[in-house]
Amino acid sequence: MNLPRSTHPYYPGIDGLRAIAVMAVVLYHLDGAWLPGGFSGVDVFFVISGFVVSGSVGSRAPEGLLTFTTRFLARRLRRIAPALIACLVVTALVVAVLVPDAWLSRRNQVTGRFAFFGFSNVAMVRFSNDYFSPVAEFNPYTHTWSLGVEEQFYLLFPLIFCLWAWGGRRRTVSVAATALLTLLSFGFACWSGEHDPTRAFYLLPTRFWEIGAGVLLYQVTQLLDQRGRGTTRMPEHWSSRWAFASAGLVAFGMLASTPQSFPAPGALPSVLGTCGLLAFMRRAPHQDGLMAALSSRPLVAIGRLSYSLYLWHWPVFVVFRWTVGLEALPLQLLALAMAIVLAVISYRCIETPIRKSAMLGTLRSGVTVALGAAALAAGLWTMKGITHSQAELSVSTVTREARDWYPDDGRVTRETTRCAVMVDEERLARGLVRTFSSRGCVPRRDSPDVYVVGDSHAVALGETFAAYARDTGATVRLYDNDGCPFLSLDPRRDDTPNCARSSALVIDRLTARLREGDVVFLPSLRMPRYLDQWATVPGKPIDDAIFSDEGTRRLAMSAARAGPVLDRIAATGARVVIMAPNLLLKLPLFRCADPYDAVNPVCAAGPDVDRAHFETLRRPMFDALERLADARPGLTIWDAFPVLCPPSATCHAYRDGHPLFFDGDHLSGYANRLLLPSFKAAMRSAVPGR
């Protein structure tokens, strides 16, 4: 059954406008400094989508809601799904081969799975993954958020537009409903932008107004045409002013938009400008200078390629960031060329043949929808299979030598069939507790039970805790402090409202369970880091942060605040072992472990650290810990630094070819095993008489 063709006229300038929008987005993603507001190209797409989708069904004969919906969705699936499935599956395969699993990449594949059915924007909100954060730049599926908004709109569109299709006075009701929803969405977007910017940026209720503006423009212009007013041609001088004012608004949006005001009112110039240009296209003669430029063959060709180019450019750029880097101009040009080639292949070999297939055009719309859903499900199943096979597919050293790089995540560690370490998890109001205990192992009564409080740096010692429980028969309880450190002596980290509440709950729970002879172990970063997993930390150099008057004041203030907390723990009869500031690297080691990473600028600092200089950097923190220990006989310091960096001129990131760290400051699995004897000795010596 052939789907009805729309009688809505084709305007080449719309493809030209699509070209401008996609080029703005691509340039922004390549280097945000080139076009600071280039992300507003997505807003141009939203308006065009509302206008064009309305035109594609606006001239249909009246039909029932179910028939209208299935026909509409069938056309949308044939247009969107094939290229999307190909892009998601190929991206998943390339990522599995080249990108190791890490905190920076952990949410990526989940986002990709949501993208198959148009909900990656919901995943972004769920993970609090801000579009403008550095983390989003390493997710190859970030860009699919906008497809999610459109696909969710397509589910809602038939309910809104069916009244229009029925004609007569119902069209006026449809226009009023669209206008009301658009205004409500705009108001909600303005409010949400102040209270929850991430939700405001990603979700349909705060983005509906942009697509709704395109729908409303189509409806209003059609009503004017019906009443004989829509074909009245503007005087040439007014037409030109209208066109250039509209183009100026779009240009302003792409040059001057800032993340802080999006989506409302920040997207307003782009939305109004796009509406103005679309209205101008219906009235202005084709020979008009601006219209001729937008209708030029190069822009129209790019516009027709825009969907495929939008799909493919972002994964290519992200894979470059993960591997060789995307900072140098030659690499940027190479990435752009690869994206264009993939987009052309996708457009010619996947998108266009399926969209124009005569055989698929003969199918009933319900069958087309079912086949589209099945294809999406098959793509999702394929992606899951690729993810689960990453260990076999990957060429990354990190994945291939996972035991050296990743500490045991604490589920189950088995040494023999009779001796195992079991890990129980209990989720708290904030954070969770992991309890490591041995089963079937020979207990040794010379070691205390250990309570650990900390953030990811405590979790990175999970293999050490599991081995300690296995070897001693003692129990280790790890309080994963809701992503917060505990007594890191850095008020910028400890004293945030979230971390202050979390730490207060942990200390209440901890002191209620502690008994004499237990040990509380407090690992933490305790120094400004050189870099995160994505890039160098911006701001002052570490030297300035540590030795400035402000740094000295903060350290003294934090040490004074730590005293009462330590005294409260000591009152239970438990002992405290606090971890000294450990070695920091100047590169994220897991991103620099393979030959194809060698030219990435993030690896430029190299894997070695000057020992004498680092000793100087950690001295103020170490002195502060020693003063706390001198005042409290029940407090001792465990220093892993001499084990990881034996006396020499240089500290190395590797020992006998094995990594000591996973990134710049989290310990590796190999380092866990290297530190185990020292850790066991520190726990035993913390309790007199052991």
Has residue 285 got a pLDDT over 60? Answer: no
Identify the domain boundary among 368, 395, 422: 395
Residues 385 and 437 in one domain: no
* Selection from 628, 601, 671 nearest residue 327 by Cα: 601
Question: Domain range spanning residue 365?
Answer: 12-395
Report how far residue 454's alpha carbon sits from residue 317's, in angstroms, rounded to the nearest whole number: 35
4 domain residue, yes or no: no
Report how far residue 523's alpha carbon sits from residue 654's, in angstroms, rounded to the nearest whole number: 22
What's 530's DSSP letter?
A: S
Of 57-61, 129-133, 188-192, 685-689, the range with the lowest mean pLDDT is 57-61
pLDDT in tens, 514-560: 999 999 999 999 988 888 888 776 656 788 888 888 888 989 999 99
HSE, side-chain direction, 13 A CA sphere, residue 211: 24
2 domain residue, yes or no: no
HSE, side-chain direction, 13 A CA sphere, residue 524: 25
pLDDT in tens, 461-498: 999 999 999 999 999 999 987 778 888 888 777 778 88
Residues 459 and 585 in one domain: yes
Mean of pLDDT over the chain = 89
Identify the domain boundary among 367, 395, 423: 395
Identify the domain boundary among 395, 413, 434: 395
Report how far residue 346's alpha carbon sits from residue 353's, in angstroms, rounded to the nearest whole number: 10
Please report the pLDDT score of residue 688 as a whole number.
Answer: 82
Please report the pLDDT score of residue 287 as a whole number.
Answer: 54
Please state the rounded mean pLDDT for residues 444-472. Answer: 91
Residues 146 and 214 in one domain: yes
Which of residues 502 and 320 earns the better pLDDT score?
Answer: 320
Nearby residues of 272 by Cβ (< 8 Å), 6 or more positions away = 246, 249
7 domain residue, yes or no: no
Sign of CA dihedral 456, 104, 389, 113: positive
Report how far residue 477's alpha carbon sits from residue 653's, in angstroms, rounded to the nearest whole number: 29
Residues 672 and 616 in one domain: yes
Judged on CB neighbours under 10 Å (0-12, 13-18, 19+), 393 is middle
Cβ–Cβ under 8 Å, residues 461 and 436: no
Residue 520, classed as helix, strand or coil, is strand
206 domain residue, yes or no: yes
Has residue 3 got a pLDDT over 60? Answer: no
Which of residues 441 and 401 earns the better pLDDT score?
Answer: 401
193 domain residue, yes or no: yes
Report how far residue 623's alpha carbon sits from residue 680's, in angstroms, rounded to the nearest whole number: 24
Please report the pLDDT score of residue 60 as a whole number.
Answer: 67
Residues 506 and 372 in one domain: no
Has residue 425 got a pLDDT over 50? Answer: yes
Structure tokens at 38: 């280039």
- Give me the residue label for tokens 């192992």: 441
Please report the pLDDT score of residue 286 as a whole number.
Answer: 54
Report how far residue 599's alpha carbon sits from residue 610's, in angstroms, rounded to the nearest whole number: 22
Please state the rounded mean pLDDT for residues 73-94. Answer: 95
Residue 307, classed as helix, strand or coil, is helix
Band of the pLDDT at 8, cuts 50, 70, 90? low
CATH for 523: 3.40.50.1110
| Alpha helix positions (H), 571-668 | 611-630, 641-644
Report how far residue 438's alpha carbon sits from residue 445's, in angstroms, rounded to the nearest whole number: 13
Has residue 669 got a pLDDT over 60? Answer: yes
Band of the pLDDT at 387, cuts 50, 70, 90? very high
Share of the chain above pLDDT 90, in %: 66
Residues 298 and 442 in one domain: no
Please state the rounded mean pLDDT for residues 382-402. Answer: 95
Please state the rounded mean pLDDT for residues 44-64. Answer: 86
3 domain residue, yes or no: no
- Give DSSP secondary structure letters for 85-145: HHHHHHHHHHHHHH----TTTTTHHHHHHHHHTT-HHHHHHHTT--TTSGGGGG-TTGGGH
The number of folded domains in the chain is 2
User: What interhelical angle do 204-226 and 170-195 show, nearest 10?
Assistant: 150
Residues 268 and 414 in one domain: no
Structure tokens at 106: 């952990």
Structure tokens at 493: 């980290």
Residues 518 and 466 in one domain: yes
682 domain residue, yes or no: yes
Band of the pLDDT at 284, cuts 50, 70, 90? low
The residues with which 433 forms a beta bridge, in sequence order, are 426, 479
Has residue 157 got a pLDDT over 80? Answer: yes
Residues 229 and 303 in one domain: yes
Please report the pLDDT score of residue 416 as a whole number.
Answer: 47
24-63 burial code (b ≥16 CB/10 A, e <16): bbbbbbbeeeebebbbbbbbbbbbbbbbbbbbbbbebeee
Residues 39 and 173 in one domain: yes
Cβ–Cβ under 8 Å, residues 648 and 410: no
Residues 439 and 348 in one domain: no
Cβ–Cβ under 8 Å, residues 672 and 461: yes
Report how far residue 462's alpha carbon sits from residue 558's, in angstroms, rounded to the nearest whole number: 27
5 domain residue, yes or no: no
Residues 447 and 558 in one domain: yes
pLDDT in tens, 10-21: 889 999 999 999
